[in-house]
């Protein structure tokens, strides 16, 4: 059993975590854009490969954070994670 204060902190923590991950993602993608523009041959191809890996990775990290914070049955946590990774559902907040 958790106190109402602990549950409230958890509810605030999920959007804060997801927001922090989003800010890191934006900074990473901005820096990678600048880096790949500096590559004269193959920069666009490399950036495409980079983005195919980076974007789902950040979604997965946000999804794991949201799933870990939920106090629901285990299957619901996995559903939240999979929904976030596949963009079917945005993280809370």
What are the mean pLDDT values of the chain's consecutive 10-residue runs (93 residues total)? Answer: 63 80 93 92 92 92 76 55 57 48
pLDDT reported for residue 27: 95
pTM of the predicted structure, to 2 decimals:
0.63
| Domain contains 43 | yes
| Domain contains 22 | yes
| Domain contains 59 | yes
| Domain contains 34 | yes
| Domain contains 38 | yes
| Integer Cα distance of 12 and 93 in angstroms | 9
Q: Which residues contact 28 (CB under 8 A, 6 or more apart)?
A: 54, 58
Can you give the residue range of the structural domain that contains 46? 4-85
Domains contained in the chain, number: 1
pLDDT reported for residue 93: 46
| Domain contains 78 | yes
C-alpha atoms less than 13 angstroms from C-alpha of 16 in its C-beta half-sphere: 7
């Amino acid at each position: 059993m958790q106190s109402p204060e602990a549950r409230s902190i958890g509810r605030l923590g999920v959007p804060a975590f997801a927001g922090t991950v989003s800010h890191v993602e934006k900074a990473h993608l901005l820096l990678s854009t600048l880096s790949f523009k500096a590559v004269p041959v193959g920069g666009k191809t490399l950036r495409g490969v980079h983005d195919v890996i980076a974007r789902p990775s950040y979604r997965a990290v946000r999804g794991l954070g949201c799933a870990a914070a939920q106090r629901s049955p285990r299957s619901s946590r996995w559903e939240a994670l999979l929904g976030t990774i596949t963009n079917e559902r945005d993280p809370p907040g």
